[in-house]
């Protein structure tokens, strides 16, 4: 019976489980935030890319091929 009493009073396993649950909740929060912000950031970078490539001056030199 003494073994069972010590096992019931030992809380080190419960502490490890609590830390595991906290880490899991933080992970779920990070995944949710990345999922929500990922699409928004993709749209922002796509818009920036479109604006930059649309406003670039044409290349000098006028035609295809090289001189020669």
Is residue 30 situated within a structural domain? yes
pLDDT string in tens for the chain (68-residue length) = 687 777 677 666 778 888 899 999 999 999 999 888 888 888 888 999 988 887 766 665 555 555 55
Is residue 62 situated within a structural domain? no
Is residue 66 situated within a structural domain? no
Residue 42 is part of which domain span? 3-55
Rounded Cα distance, 64 and 61, in Å: 8
Length of the chain as a residue count: 68
Query: In 3-state terms, what secondary structure has residue 51?
Result: helix
Is residue 14 situated within a structural domain? yes
Gyration radius of the chain's alpha carbons: 30
Is residue 64 situated within a structural domain? no
Is residue 68 situated within a structural domain? no
- The pTM score is 0.47
Number of compact structural domains in the chain: 1
């Amino acid at each position: 019976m003494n073994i069972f009493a010590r096992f019931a009073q030992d809380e080190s396993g419960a502490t490890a489980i609590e830390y595991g649950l906290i880490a899991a909740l933080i992970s779920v929060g990070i995944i949710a935030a990345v999922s929500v912000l990922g699409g928004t950031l993709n749209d922002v970078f796509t818009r920036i890319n479109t604006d930059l490539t649309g406003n670039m001056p044409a290349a000098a030199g006028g035609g295809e091929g090289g001189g020669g």
